[in-house]
Structure 1
Amino acid sequence: MSRGIAGKALLALACTVAAATPALAASHVFLVQNSGWMEPFFGDPASQYKPLVAEVANAAVQPGDALVLAAFNQGLPGAPSPRALLAQKAGDKPVREAVAAALAPLEVARKPNGGAMADTDLGEAVGSAIGQALGGKPGLVWLFTNNRNSPNNDQATAQRNREFYQLIHTGPDIAKAIAFPLHMPVKGARYSANGLMVYVFAVREEGRRELDALLKSGRLQKVITERPARLKPLDQDTVRLVPTRVENVPGVVFATLPDGRLRADVDAQATAKGPAPAARITWRLENAIYPYTIASARIAAQSSIAGAVQPIGLASNDVKALAPGQPQPLASTLQLPVANLPGKWSLAALQSAGSAQVLPGRIDVQLADQRLELSQAFRQRMATLFPGDPLPDIFTPPERIQGSRAVLPVEVRLQHGAGPLLAALGGLFALLAAGAALLVAATRGRKVIVTVEGEQRTVHTKAGARTPLYDRAGNKVAELRTTLFGHALTDLREGAQVRIGK
């Protein structure tokens, strides 16, 4: 398809979105294939193709989200693709009804003039959704296809697949991509099919977080029960560590939290008296990148707790033939950096006295020289659902991905007890009491007897005061200075007879 035709098709889609949701970029774009290869999905009265799209949209789109629904095949002069069917902002009403109504009249597309059924261009459709419907902004692109990618009825589908492959794996816009191969046998007047593929492409990091949140919510799994197959990324979170056995050490009690995190309850008093505790932990190393088998890799791990980074001793540094769903036991030694933990007299310890001071940390797992292989079980499933279709090559891992990283959060709870706090409070109270005593002494009135030229007088004074003393003629002869610790005569006139006391 020429760039001019592509531009017209993309402009038509973008204008539809802008008219329906002004000043709001779509966060979901649903691309529904209606090329000639999809004839059985439209012609079979028992086909669940359209109902599936409506249910997936209803599960994924939340109130306030913007969505675009578009049919796609291959754009030609007079027949742009993708073609928007619906563009709106979701309200409180279910999305299901709106999507179903928009899909109801959709039929298999035909080429202009000739009347032959339209061809398919998957890359064109996804590129249009990212560049125009989303306008380059974050969001999710959903692709419903029978996996046949043949623009201009080109039989060199392998080359077309590689182009689609490059768009997904090396395109900078797609941060995450997953696929659901679904069993959907349909039979039409001309063709039949066994399966349908649903792809989800998360655009940019915000789109990735949106997809992760959707998968975590479980809403999509109520519609699609098939396990998602990961396409991208293949260099992050490829493995998962699950503690299965922990040998506690004096002063430290380990536990596994419901979310899989490892927690260590540390008695600060006990650990302060001995060497840094080292616990033996046996993990279940799980392959987290279905549908790939980690054929081989070198593994290393380190902990980062209280600002201290330390290597974790592993019983084995090799991973071999780790298939999805088949965990491998891994023994390790984890040493807690006691020297870096806050002391019992630290402000943090005093603030958390009587309760646990929580120190977040993590365990980093690195896989190097990683070699991935598509699992045989997945290959067989794809061959059953899409017989003779080379598109599963899209799951072939890129050669540049030879390493990956996984992170396990760790929580260290430091138990200091209330002793230091009570001692600190006792010292504070003593200091306050001494201060109060000084304050009373400073403000309390005092009586002092002084003798001026043989005459005894009683002078009322207080700490910090300077009291002048006069003789019978009214002349100043001295000054009485009073402090917290006593009295003294100052500025004594020469020859004057003045003393303190009788």
Structure 2
Amino acid sequence: MTPALRRAALLACAAAALAPATAAAVSHVFLVQNSGWMEPFYSDPASPYKALVTEVVMAAAQPGDVMVLAAFNQSLPGAPSPKALLAEKVAAPSQRQHVTQALAPLTTAKKPGGAALADTDLGEAVGAAIGTALNRKPGLVWLFTNNKNSPNNDQATARRNREFYQLIHHGADIKKALAFPLHMPVQGARYHANGLMVYVFAIHQQGARELDQLLRSGRLQKVITEPPARLKPLDQDTVRLAPVRVEDAPGVAFSMAADGMLRADVQSDAAAPTARIHWHLDNAIYPYTISSAALSARSVLAGEERPIALGAARVSALAPGKSQPLSSLMQLPVARLPGKWSAAAISAAGSAVVLPGSIEVRLSEQKLELSQAFKQRMAALFPGDPLPDIFAPPSQVEGSRALLPIEVRVHYGMAPLLALIGAVFALLGLLAAAALAMTRGRTVQLTVEGELRTVSTKAGMRHTIYDQAGNKVAELKTTLFGHTLTDLREGAQVRLGR
């Protein structure tokens, strides 16, 4: 490890130690190229290069994040690269001033012991940021470059570009990579340039989530208005589904929620509802054209997977940002929906049982190619530079999928609930009547040996009946339904009533 890299690592660790223990904190490494090829970006008085770096840092790094700002060219004995300019925990009041002061003295680097301008090694700089400054932990690595990768002034730029390509596409640490080609004409004493490239590499899955969150916030888009060109991954989120029109089936009504979710309102008595949905299939993988891919689709609802019949089996020549119409026939799994006498249906009486699910469209045998418009733009920004070859997609790209959340809402009437409530009240009435009957006092008349007697009793009670001599002659048993004489002595003259 070079002394400057040791310094960068130590400063990064020190800043990390000061960072609050919060999952929201992000680690950033900003690599600013200052090799000889960057001469016009430093010597042109109107160059917006440093101002752009400052604004990107301010947009990307938020208070509490940890950042390292470093200059890079190519490491040589006596001239280490990258070289840390600033490493600290981000604090809002002083951040812009610190970044501006760190960049102010930065100029074009020279090789040790002479006037020759320093060469460039993009792979070395990115590798050092991942392995040393971040210590292979999650974070975001930003690279500001004119896209000329020529270590030792190596003319075999194609081979060097492939090495950089391999680092991006096959490096296990980099989970997501984007590039922003920017129009930035500058004129120096030695060189002229038309454009600048800003790369961002998300390290590990946590870094990819942090980059997605940054893009969703819109902060970066206020500084860089150009759409990001995707380098990696090329097998995820290549298309989007946008519902256009739904032909409702009897008992089913479809609608789109504000959050993009497709909703299906189903009446509980709908029989095997089927709906025809018309979509726009959008190419969401700028700057690539989907030259060809096979299409298939399925729905996952109420725990049941069903194939969706599509109106087209393939997609072809779909340019970035463009869409093609796609029709589909989808059946809702009525057999899996709760019955009207189920606990779920009764509890949802007057409203709906909500069943979440999704519609998935898969692309297989996918072939991508760089769009002609993007090739022309890169040729204008970086004339004669073969580095844009890193955008050439790998020969083998795995399939991808697009997901659209769907929510099935099954509506049940009040009848089952009202019937249940009536049954409950009827049962309560029977129980109340039984309780009253059990506790209500009754009188019964008996005739014992010609003598009329009256006995007070209640349901559930037994009374022993004696003759005039005091001998037991029977038992009187009272129930909810009447009175009976049991255990009659043989020959006894005992009867109910007169």
User: Normalization by structure 2: what TM-score?
Assistant: 0.90
Alignment correspondent of 1:396 = 392
Q: How does 1:23-422 map to 2 (within 5 A)?
A: 24=19, 27-93=27-93, 95-269=95-269, 271-272=270-271, 276-422=272-418
Conserved? CA contact 1:54–1:95, under 8 Å: no
For residues 162 and 299 of structure 1, what CA distance do their matches in structure 2 show? Answer: 32
Q: Which amino acid aligns with 2:143?
A: L
Write the deviation string for residues 433-454 of structure 1: whole angstroms up to 9, x where unpaired.
3233333333434444455666
Q: Which amino acid aligns with 1:128?
A: A
Conserved? CA contact 2:5–2:84, under 8 Å: no
Cα root mean square deviation, aligned: 2.6
Change (3 A) 1:267 1:150: same
For residues 370 and 451 of structure 1, what CA distance do their matches in structure 2 show? Answer: 102
Conserved? CA contact 1:464–1:482, under 8 Å: yes
Conserved? CA contact 1:9–1:75, under 8 Å: no
Alignment correspondent of 2:481 = 485
Write the deviation string for residues 231-272 of structure 1: whole angstroms up to 9, x where unpaired.
111111111121222222211122233343322222222x13
Change (3 A) 1:476 1:285: same
For residues 77 and 472 of structure 1, what CA distance do their matches in structure 2 show? Answer: 133
Residue 12 (1) aligns with residue 21 (2): no
Change (3 A) 1:232 1:449: farther
For residues 450 and 89 of structure 1, what CA distance do their matches in structure 2 show? Answer: 102
Write the deviation string for residues 350-398 of structure 1: whole angstroms up to 9, x where unpaired.
2222223322221111112211110010001111111111111111111
Write the deviation string for residues 284-312 of structure 1: whole angstroms up to 9, x where unpaired.
11111010001111111112222222222
Does 183-192 or 448-457 show the bigger shift?
448-457
Q: Which amino acid aligns with 2:288?
A: Y
Alignment correspondent of 1:444 = 440
For residues 113 and 487 of structure 1, what CA distance do their matches in structure 2 show? Answer: 124
Does 234-243 or 21-30 show the bigger shift?
21-30
For residues 105 and 352 of structure 2, what CA distance do their matches in structure 1 show? Answer: 63
SS of the equivalent of 1:57 reads helix
Conserved? CA contact 2:12–2:66, under 8 Å: no
For residues 45 and 401 of structure 1, what CA distance do their matches in structure 2 show? Answer: 45
Q: Which amino acid aligns with 1:349?
A: A
Conserved? CA contact 1:57–1:95, under 8 Å: no
Does 108-117 or 49-58 show the bigger shift?
108-117
Conserved? CA contact 2:68–2:86, under 8 Å: yes
CA shift, 1:278, in A, is: 2.2
For residues 89 and 464 of structure 1, what CA distance do their matches in structure 2 show? Answer: 84
Residue in structure 1 matching 2:17, options 17, 22, 35 = 22
Gaps of 5+ in 1: none
Between the two proteins, what is the percent identity of the paired residues? Answer: 69
SS of the equivalent of 2:112 reads coil
CA shift, 1:173, in A, is: 1.7
Residue in structure 2 matching 1:435, options 425, 431, 438 = 431
Q: How does 1:453-492 map to 2 (within 5 A)?
A: 457-467=453-463, 479-489=475-485
For residues 498 and 82 of structure 1, what CA distance do their matches in structure 2 show? Answer: 118
Conserved? CA contact 2:81–2:125, under 8 Å: yes
Q: Which amino acid aligns with 2:407?
A: E
Q: Give the paired residue count.
A: 493
SS of the equivalent of 1:93 reads helix
Write the deviation string for residues 390-424 of structure 1: whole angstroms up to 9, x where unpaired.
11111111112142222122222222232322222
User: Normalization by structure 1: what TM-score?
Assistant: 0.90
Conserved? CA contact 1:17–1:26, under 8 Å: no
Q: Which amino acid aligns with 2:156?
A: A
Change (3 A) 1:26 1:75: farther
Q: Which amino acid aligns with 1:76?
A: L
For residues 86 and 478 of structure 1, what CA distance do their matches in structure 2 show? Answer: 109
For residues 403 and 458 of structure 1, what CA distance do their matches in structure 2 show? Answer: 94
Conserved? CA contact 2:181–2:196, under 8 Å: yes
Conserved? CA contact 1:26–1:134, under 8 Å: no
Change (3 A) 1:383 1:496: same
Q: Which amino acid aligns with 1:47?
A: S
For residues 480 and 94 of structure 2, what CA distance do their matches in structure 1 show? Answer: 82
Q: Which amino acid aligns with 1:32?
A: V
Gaps of 5+ in 2: 20-24
Does 278-287 or 450-459 show the bigger shift?
450-459
For residues 92 and 498 of structure 1, what CA distance do their matches in structure 2 show? Answer: 105
Conserved? CA contact 2:44–2:188, under 8 Å: yes
Does 377-386 or 128-137 show the bigger shift?
128-137
Change (3 A) 1:286 1:72: same
For residues 23 and 473 of structure 1, what CA distance do their matches in structure 2 show? Answer: 106
Write the deviation string for residues 178-220 of structure 1: whole angstroms up to 9, x where unpaired.
1111111112222221111111112222222222222122221
Does 375-384 or 490-499 show the bigger shift?
490-499
Write the deviation string for residues 447-486 of structure 1: whole angstroms up to 9, x where unpaired.
4445566655544443344455566777766554443333
For residues 471 and 140 of structure 2, what CA distance do their matches in structure 1 show? Answer: 99
